[in-house]
Structure 1
Amino acid sequence: MSTPPTGRRLHRVAMVTVHTSPLAQPGEGDAGGMNVYVLEVARQLARRDIAVDLFTRTTSASQPAVVEVEPGVVVRHLAAGPYEGLSKEDLPGQLCAFAAGMMRVAAHAPPGYYDLVHSHYWLSGQVGWLAADRWGVPLVHTMHTMARVKNLHLADGDVPEPLGREIGEAQVVEAADRLVANTAREAQELVELYDADPARVVVAEPGVDLALFRPGSTLEARAAVGVPSDAVLLLFVGRIQPLKGPDVVVRAAAEMVRRRPELRSRLVVGILGGASGTGVRNPMGLPELAERLGIGDLVRFVPPVDRATLAQWYRAADVVPVPSHSESFGLVAVEAQACGTPVVAADVGGLPTAVGPGGVLVVGHDTADWATAISGVVLDPDRRAGLARASAEHAAGFGWARTAQRLAEVYADAMTHPREAPISDAELLTGIPSAVIP
């Protein structure tokens, strides 16, 4: 990779998100926290005079080739395989077509149009690696999730990530000038599980839209989303897949009713989200589970909603359980807390950072433990009020402007001090550092 001139000003970033559009509705299909992250960061960078072109795959014939989100933020849809019917697991075979689309865009732009590539998720990293090398600019990569981490914490019945993904991730780790981790724990996982160079790993914590997600009237929020004013509302938000653990919430709710039968008349369990990943291929059967446990009448399934309505749901809730088996950060936890709603979360990945003093961490996914932790919040008004105050205070430190500022610093450093070690042919083929190849 050629070295950018020292002191060169950063004008435009090519941001790559192959498998899911930043314009997609979070909570549906493969859209989730990463979609929110990419779009919010792009907006904040543009307000710092760093233009961002977001490259993503076309998934519908109705999508325009170019969408200007706001001045300085452009989404470019590239044709790579059939528009519909491809799962995330099918996309490695379309990366060549996607990369060709990026090359065509750059070929019609002035020389040196892009100063840096920032890729998100390993599929994008493979394409970003090629683009950065072709254009002679640095590659910054954010994993968001990692196969080796997910495989260490699989939910019952979930399917391990394939070896091909592990190899692809290792290649991107070796190729990137900088690796952006969401938390210090994720940075440690990159070093320990992928042999990443610690000098190239930096932490930039994700943020939250503090103007939208803010405390407000619980009664008004409940009226807006149709929840009784005297309800005890447990709210799960996320994609419906084993990784996210929505079944843990249903089981815990059933145990709470078993322990305290008088709760039945007031308990509402909101499951807000759509099926995703292995949850699409092998539906989790949450309605059937709720019926078997005798609380089918208490569980309300809500499809993904817009961001303003989501904020109302958070404000309406007594507690937001986040029982993920693996989580690089936990955007749902911070959004809920920004609305002044306590969180009960699994003690995994980046959730301890996201939750902080505004919530409760649970080790493992035992039903009894979760029922006890959730009950300890919703059935103790004084404790809940204290956690609500701490939640809002903690979340106030996670604005997107802070994330974008940190990324701008990382970009500048990558341009000034790109990685020096060349990548060997063996590393290109295997993703294994040349020092350990005989």
Structure 2
Amino acid sequence: MHVLTLTTNADAPFMNEQMRALERRGVSFSTLSVSGEGDGGNSRSPIDYLRYFPEVIAEAGNDYDLVHAHYGLIAPMALAQLRKPVVLSLWGSDLYGPVGPVSRACAPLCDELVVMSEEMQSTLGRPCEVIPDGVDLEKFQPKPQAEARRAVGWDEDDYQILFPYLPERDVKNYPRARRIVNAVNGRLERPVRLQAVHGVDHDTVPDYMNAADALLLTSRSEGSPNSVKEALACNTPVVSVDVGDVSERLAGVSPSLVSDDDSDLIDELVSILESDIEPNGREAAREVSVERTADQMIDVYERVSGTRVSESSPDDVARAPEPLD
């Protein structure tokens, strides 16, 4: 099976990890991304997207079994070609943010719609395939905290709270995270540091996860935040507001907390930092391993295309998808 991938961000780690897992099962990909600069489709000009229409139409005429559009803003381009069935994956910000009307208008026109959480399906008000982005359990594994802190350059004597986003991204609500950590800092003798980590090579993210005493999520909206699943895979405790599928991901995980009350979030962070409880998050992460979610996506591809995927042999080498020139 050969799939044309359309995306606003050909470097998105979660998308590429999913594609590599699918390649191991016999799917091949060509990736066509929107030209210009942008993060999640929010910064490019209308001209960039207008130029993308004919590029997609021309490329879709080649030998593909289906078109998989990642992110709602490029759904119109995927639907403009009339030759191949269309799978649309919504990432979360394209449903809850300013792109939401485009995503909602295009959703019923696609052959299959994939969302990250039950909450997103409920928001759309229509049947969807709920397939969260999977986590690579081989890449994200527990490791000694002291070793991880040396790798990332964090003080080993301080408490370290990870905020895995750019502070300027309003939807991630960094000011709330800062208020919470400031309150925690006032209740403990050792310093508590809020570490905003963004723009680092994805291969280094496991070190940051393992270096942290806890991950703090204060987003105003999410689909299925990858940082939570990556933290679970590293047995890093998570304290989060009730957003996206976090409640589902953290069900039965200890120590962890989901609450919209700042006092609860502060109390739980203090408890985590003072406790010696062995986290059990990795077991929960197995439910959303990249291998398991790839199996679910294979079912979608086969249903849409009417074609069975012939799995690669064990000797085949999985390669990262190459963007088209």
> What TM-score, normalized by structure 1, do the two folds share?
0.65
Question: Percent of aligned positions with the same letter in both sequences?
Answer: 25
Q: CA deviation at 1:217?
A: 0.8
Measure the CA separation in 2 of the matches of 1:85 and 1:177: 26
Deviations 1:69-112 (A, max 9, x none): xxxxxxxxxxxxxx6899725444432310211233345x4xxx
Amino acid corresponding to residue 97 of structure 1 in structure 2: R
C-alpha distance in 1 between matches for 2:54 and 2:205: 38
Q: Does 1:231 align with 2:231?
A: no
> What is aligned with 2:115?
181
Deviation at 1:146, TM superposition (A): 5.2
Mapped to 2, the partners of 1:392 and 1:138 lie a distance apart of: 37
| 1:15 equivalent in alignment to 2:35 | no
Q: Is the alpha carbon distance of 1:217 and 1:149 closer, same or farther for their aligned partners in structure 2, counting shifts above 3 Å?
A: same
Is 1:128 the equivalent of 2:105? no
Whole-Å separation in 1 of the counterparts to 2:289 and 2:229: 10
Corresponding residue for 2:67? Answer: 117
Match of 1:371 in 2: 266
Give 1:80's aligned residue: none
Q: In structure 2, what is the equivalent of residue 422 of structure 1?
A: none
Measured against aligned partners, the alpha-carbon deviations of 1:358-415 in whole angstroms (never above 9, x if no partner) come to 253333263x332222112112223xx2xx2x11111123221211111110111123
**CA distance in structure 2 between the partners assigned to 1:84 and 1:351 by the alignment:** 27
1:128-182 per-residue CA deviation (whole Å, 9 max, x = no partner) reads: 1112x2x1x21111111256645xxxxxxxxxx2xxx343222211211111122
Q: Is the 8 A contact 2:56 2:78 kept in 1?
A: no
Classify 1:149/1:84 alpha carbon distance in 2 versus 1 (closer, same or farther; 3 Å): closer
Partner of 2:322: none
Could you say which residue in structure 2 is the equivalent of 1:267?
A: 192
**Superposed, which structure 2 residues align to 1:157-306 within 5 Å?**
161=98, 165-191=99-125, 196=126, 198=127, 201-240=128-167, 241-260=169-188, 262-263=189-190, 266-273=191-198, 304-306=199-201
Which residue, 210, 214, 219 being the options, matches 1:315? 210
The one-character-per-residue Cα deviations of 1:256-308 (angstroms, maximum 9, x if unpaired) are 22233x23xx32221112xxxxxxxxxxxxxxxxxxxxxxxxxxxxxx22223
Structure number with bigger Rg? 1
**CA distance in structure 1 between the aligned counterparts of 2:273 and 2:159, rounded to whole angstroms:** 7
Q: Map Cα deviations across residues 10-29 of structure 1 (whole Å, 9 max, x no partner).
A: x2111111x32x22xxxxxx
* Whole-angstrom distance in 2 between the partners of 1:336 and 1:87: 26
Give the conservation status (yes or no) of the 8 Å contact 2:60–2:67.
no
Among 13, 30, 34, the alignment partner of 1:57 is 34
Please show how residues 422-433 of structure 1 align to structure 2 within 5 Å. none
The unaligned stretches of length 5 or more in structure 2 are 308-325
Question: Structure 1: which 5+ residue stretches go unaligned?
Answer: 1-10, 24-34, 60-82, 151-160, 274-303, 418-438
| 1:227-254 residue CA offsets vs partner (Å, 9 max, x unmatched) | 2323211111123312112222211111
| CA distance in structure 1 between the aligned counterparts of 2:39 and 2:235, rounded to whole angstroms | 40
Q: Which residue of 1 aligns with 2:314?
A: none
Equivalent-residue separation in structure 1 for 2:100 and 2:212 (angstroms): 38
1:352 to 1:92, Cα distance in 2 relative to 1, 3 A = farther
Equivalent position of 2:294 in the other structure: 404
What amino acid maps onto 2:297 in structure 1? L
CA distance in 2, matches of 1:251, 1:339: 26
Q: One-letter code of the match for 2:196?
A: I
**CA–CA distance in structure 2, aligned partners of residues 403 and 40 of structure 1:** 11
Is the Cα contact below 8 Å between 1:44 and 1:404 reproduced in 2?
yes
Instruction: Specify the SS of the correspondent of 2:22.
Output: helix
Instruction: Give SS of 2:288's match.
Output: coil
The number of residues matched between the two structures is: 305
- CA pair 211-147 structure 1, distance change in 2 beyond 3 A: closer
